[in-house]
DNA sequence: ACAGCAATTGTTATCGATACCTTGATATCG
DNA sequence: CGATATCAAGGTATCGATAACAATTGCTGT
């Protein structure tokens, strides 16, 4: 910048101001300096700027990246979320520092201006650990009972209730919920489902399955049939579970959607091309990322920020 | 650090050295200062350190994050790759700056010590653009004809040849390749496949399909049957294509693996629980990330680095 | 003609850590 | 015993940008 100042015949500070589009410098001078900077290939030294401004213009995103724990790592969604976050932050001159839970003690993370936690849902201890850093923080997931921090997530409760209404509209009277209610987000889906059905005097059956696999979905249907329980609708808390269920039902001689309606969750790409095309609840992950980013930025700017749930959409296909 | 020095009764530089585990300071003093730093909750100012050292201790990772372009965004693999990268870099005191192609002009990226490009395979123009930054750079993908930059990727050629050998071992004489050879990585798979088969006097058929979906795989089989072409083995360059193919074959009255052997690619989680369990070529993405990180670090340290291909593994299941 | 004001540019200090060069104290040697 | 090596620690300058305050210029109104 000093060099640039010399060439332009002005002082360093004028250069600084000119490049920062400050109205304090004459427009002519400003444009001349900007052109010169571009021409000379000048690159701002971010470290120096950060040091002086006492800001890193960086938001640390902490992702659960251990494969096979939960399932986070094997889903494409966190990446879409990251895409949304990245886009929004970049647009505001911030950058994304990606870390795992393990790497989060690194100095660079502590230097961040804000924190976004992904896939830490059930790990309240982890959340608290990062809370201690005293940084603006936003968590992705289901709002906990003790709302100490700002949470952004998709409205799982609504997800449950739209499916319930859908089943009721179809005249189903004996719906089943398949999933792992231990998981906070899925617990919310179950709650929304149960509450909405209760409004119609219906009480669903819960089949707990911890794995999000085809096999697990098939198994659930088999055990249901074995017990001879009557049912005419299945709400699976993942598309894979739903697909497994459909396959098992077909094999057991029950038609979908003739005898049983099935709805999955996430609307994964495969869902549309499954046979029959799967009905599913879709969440807008990109939008979620954007919102997460907006919230941290607000908090960084000292504005108050509140938790928010994003609406979901039931995609009705043939099941 | 100045405060810390005052409290400890030494000078700033001694504190700096003590915290850096420098042998220049007495071990007693060093340990005393470290304990004190911990106790007082001292946090290193990364920006200041970076400024002085003229290094950001940061590697920018540029990911293609536009959904539906290619398919990168909807695959879980880039995230696994990121996991490997992140883990390795963190272990060496570096952090990961995540960006999209769009955001890559940001100042923070130019300040990085190195660059990792993911999912830019076919976009040679983009690669060149980043090359101009003059930073140590490693690209994930297939090695191009003009090997200007260091490339790390899984050995697609080997992927093709192991499948070929597998088919030959099974006595198949009329194999078909389904996929999009326009894609450099897939082009390599095709090459490996064709060359290995040629060694046995077999010439496979190529069916070009650009989409990586179930429907596309089914469609491929239908057009094959319609044309009345004889074939007894299918190598699909994605698991989804393979699953579609199997479904179509079953529907058309041909048994898998009785009449036709089918092998997919990627060994996605679903592959194992598909019915019948899908044979597929597995790549170790985590390992790939680790290797990418190692290469950039080498280059940052001024050591020469060369391209490298990671081995793949054929998982033989029932198809 | 001159105070008063706006517009523009410059001077100096500062953010926090570390490299280079010194200095003082102790140990070792012929 | 003096000279040199070794160890421990400090003084000062520096990385590159920007904030606070200062200074210059030209213009306006009375």
- Average pLDDT on B225-229 reads 91
Question: Would you say B278 and B317 are in contact if contact means Cβ atoms under 8 Å apart?
Answer: yes
A289 and B CB contact within 8 Å: no
- Gap from B13 CA to D12 C1', in Å? 11
Over residues A158-162, the mean pLDDT reads 96
Residue contacts between A and B (CB atoms, under 8 Å)? 163
Containing A279, the helix (H) or strand (E) segment is strand A279-282
Lowest mean pLDDT among A125-129, B66-70, B293-297: B66-70
Mean pLDDT of A213-218: 88
Segment B21-43 shows an average pLDDT of 90
Beta carbons of B93 and A106 less than 8 Å apart: yes
Q: Are B58 and A108 an interchain contact pair (Cβ–Cβ within 8 Å)?
A: yes
Min Cα distance B173 → chain A (Å) is: 31
> Per mean pLDDT, which of A193-207, B31-45, B102-116 is the most reliable?
A193-207
Partner B contacted by A75 (CB < 8 A) = yes
In chain A, the residue whose alpha carbon lies closest to the alpha carbon of B247 is A275
Residues from chain A that touch B51, judged by Cβ atoms under 8 A, are 45, 47-48, 51
Indicate the pLDDT class of residue B76, thresholds 50, 70 and 90: confident
Q: Protein contacts on strand D: list nucleotides below 7 Å from a Cβ.
A: 7-12, 14-20
Instruction: Tell which strand C nucleotides have any atom below 7 Å from a protein Cβ.
Output: 7-12, 14-20
The answer to whether the beta carbons of residues A174 and A235 sit under 8 Å apart is no
Comparing B124 with A151, the larger pLDDT belongs to A151
Out of B78, B215, B270, the one facing A79 most closely (by C-beta) is B78
The pLDDT, as a whole number, for residue A268 is: 85
Q: Do A86 and B99 touch (CB under 8 A)?
A: yes
pLDDT digits 0-9 by tens, A98-153: 998 887 778 888 899 999 998 765 567 778 888 888 899 999 887 765 667 899 99
DSSP characters over A14-33: HHHHHHTT-TTS-HHHHHHH
Distance from CA of B195 to the nearest CA of A (A): 33
Nearest nt by C1' to B51 Cα: D15
Q: How far is CA A209 from CA A157, A178, A220, A249, in A?
A: 19, 6, 7, 17
- A69 pLDDT more than 60: no
Partners of A150 in the β-ladder:
A138
**Is B19's CB less than 7 Å from nucleic acid strand C?**
yes
According to DSSP, residue A160 is labeled H
Average pLDDT on A286-300 reads 95
Cα dihedral angle (B21, B25, B27, B29), rounded to 10 degrees? -110
Q: Which residues, in sequence order, are bridge partners of residue B58?
A: B95
Residue B120 is predicted with a pLDDT of: 63
Which stretches of A144-284 are DSSP H helices? 156-169, 184-198, 214-226, 239-251, 269-273
Q: Which nucleotide is nearest to A9 (CA to C1')?
A: C9
Convert the pLDDT of each residue in B240-249 to its tens digit: 899 999 999 9
Q: Which of A195, A183, A249 is nearest to A222 (CA)?
A: A249
**Residue pair A227/A252 in contact by the 8 Å Cβ criterion:** no
* B294 sits in which H/E element: helix B285-300
> What percent of chain A lies above the pLDDT cut of 90?
63
Whole-angstrom distance, CA of residue B67 vs CA of residue B73: 5
User: Is A112 near strand C, with its CB below 7 A from some atom of it?
Assistant: no
B284 backbone dihedrals φ, ψ, rounded to 5°: -95, 95
Q: Give Cα B62 to chain centroid, integer Å.
A: 12
> From the candidates A108, A219, A250, which should be mutated to test the interface with B, based on the most B CB atoms within 10 A?
A108
Instruction: Kindly state the average pLDDT of the residues B28-50.
Output: 92
Q: What angle do CA A247, A251, A254 make, to 5 degrees?
A: 90
A50 in contact with B at a CB cutoff of 8 Å?
Answer: yes
Q: For chain A, give the mean pLDDT.
A: 89
Contacts of B240 in chain A (CB under 8 A): 270
- Other Cβ atoms less than 10 A from the Cβ of A39: the count is 9
Asked if A29 CB < 7 A from strand C, the reply is yes
Number of other residues whose CB lies within 10 A of the CB of residue B93: 11
Put simply, whether B198 touches A (Cβ < 8 Å) is no
Q: Please, what's the largest Cα pairwise distance for chain B?
A: 89
Between CA A50 and C1' C18 the distance (Å) reads: 17
Instruction: Specify which residues A59 forms β-bridges with.
Output: A96, A114
Round to a whole number and report the distance in Å from the CA of A248 to the C1' of D23: 85
CA–C1' distance B30–D12 (Å)? 23
**The CATH number fitting domain B58-153+285-310, selected from 3.40.710.10, 3.40.50.2300, 3.40.50.720, 3.40.50.1000:** 3.40.50.2300
Residue B199 has a pLDDT of: 95
Residue of chain A whose alpha carbon sits nearest to that of B64: A83
Write down the mean pLDDT value for chain B. Answer: 89
**Cβ pair B262, B234 in contact under 8 A:** yes
Count of residues making up chain B: 319
B156-282: CATH architecture: 3-Layer(aba) Sandwich (3.40)
B271-304 as b/e: b if 16+ CB within 10 A: bebbbeebbbbbbbbbebbbbbbbbbbbbbeeee
- Contact assignment for B102 to A82 by CB distance below 8 Å: no
Between A56-70, A244-258, B49-63, B227-241, the lowest mean confidence (pLDDT) is in A56-70
Alpha helices for A41-183 (secondary structure H): 46-53, 77-91, 107-110, 124-131, 156-169
* Interval A174-187: pLDDT, tens: 999 999 998 888 99
List the domain boundaries for chain B.
2-44, 58-153+285-310, 156-282
More confident residue, B256 or B163: B163
Q: How far is A173 from B139, CA to CA, in rounded Å? A: 56
Query: For position B18, what pLDDT does the model report?
Result: 92
Interface test with B, best of A44, A81, A269, A277 (most B CBs within 10 A): A269
Q: Under CATH, which number does the domain A2-44 receive?
A: 1.10.260.40
Q: Beta B150-154 vs B114-118: how paired, if at all? A: unpaired
Distance CA B141, CA B122 (A): 9
Report how far residue A136's alpha carbon sits from residue B274's, in angstroms, rounded to the nearest whole number: 44
Tell me if A73 and B80 make a contact (CB, 8 A cut-off): yes
């Amino acid at each position: 910048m000093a060099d640039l100042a010399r060439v332009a015949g002005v002082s360093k500070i004028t250069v600084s101001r000119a490049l920062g589009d400050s109205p304090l410098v004459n427009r002519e001078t400003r444009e001349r300096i900007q052109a010169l900077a571009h021409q000379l290939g000048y690159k701002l030294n971010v470290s120096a700027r950060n040091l002086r401004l006492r800001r890193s213009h960086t938001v640390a995103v902490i992702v659960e990246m251990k494969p096979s724990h939960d399932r986070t790592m094997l889903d494409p969604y966190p990446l879409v979320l990251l895409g949304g976050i990245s886009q929004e932050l970049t647009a505001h001159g911030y950058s994304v520092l990606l870390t795992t839970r393990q790497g989060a003690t690194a100095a660079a993370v502590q230097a961040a201006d804000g924190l976004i936690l992904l896939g830490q849902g059930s790990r309240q201890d982890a959340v608290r650990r990062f809370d201690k850093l005293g940084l603006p923080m936003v968590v992705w997931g289901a709002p906990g009972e003790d709302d100490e921090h700002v949470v952004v997530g998709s409205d799982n409760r609504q997800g449950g209730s739209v499916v319930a209404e859908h089943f009721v509209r179809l005249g189903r009277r004996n719906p089943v919920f398949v999933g792992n209610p231990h998981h906070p987000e899925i617990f919310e889906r179950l709650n929304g489902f149960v509450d909405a059905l209760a409004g119609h005097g219906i009480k669903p059956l819960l089949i707990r399955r911890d794995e999000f696999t085809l096999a697990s979905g098939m198994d659930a249907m088999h055990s249901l049939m074995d017990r001879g329980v009557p049912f005419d609708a299945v709400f699976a808390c993942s598309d894979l579970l739903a697909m497994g269920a459909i396959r098992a039902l077909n094999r057991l001689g029950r038609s979908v959607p003739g005898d049983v309606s099935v709805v999955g969750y996430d609307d994964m790409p495969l869902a549309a091309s499954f046979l029959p095309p799967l009905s599913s609840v879709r969440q807008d992950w990109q939008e979620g990322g954007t919102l997460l980013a907006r919230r941290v930025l607000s908090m960084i700017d000292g504005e108050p920020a509140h938790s928010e749930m994003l609406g979901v959409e039931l995609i009705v296909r043939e099941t």
